[in-house]
Amino acid sequence: MTDIEEREQRKKAIFDGMGKRGQERILKIGYETWDPFQEPKDPRERIFGAASVKAGAFVREYYESVGGKEESVALHRELFELCLGLLQEDSRAGVIVDFCAWLRKRTGEAS
């Protein structure tokens, strides 16, 4: 048995051992593209990566520029996540910023 055949058998065994909801999720992304053997992402990269360090610096700079202290841990986390998303060109972060600009224009606020 070749490595490819053995890998496919193991992949099928993993898939067959999953619950119905898990199987549906895999089928939604595509069984062929699903790789159950891929290495997990390193969570330290999210915390200590260059974009994270830069986002943290921008959030601290923002707090300094408005002359205030951090409102709350939850708010700080949200600002950090938004900034990180913008730095990583995440579409979700871009949509949030676009919506804020649209809402400000729509409600007639100027700043």
Hey, where are the domains in the chain?
1-38, 43-106
Instruction: Tell me the pLDDT tens digit for each residue of 52-105.
Output: 999 999 999 998 898 877 678 899 899 999 999 999 999 999 999 999 999 999
CB-based burial label for 59 (10 Å; 0-12, 13-18, 19+): buried
Token pair belonging to 47: 């915390």
Residues 8-39: pLDDT tens digits? Answer: 999 999 999 999 999 999 999 899 999 988 88
Note the pLDDT of residue 18.
Answer: 92
CA–CA dist 101, 109 (Å, integer):
10
Q: Which two tokens stand for residue 82?
A: 């938004």
Supply 95's token pair: 């949509």
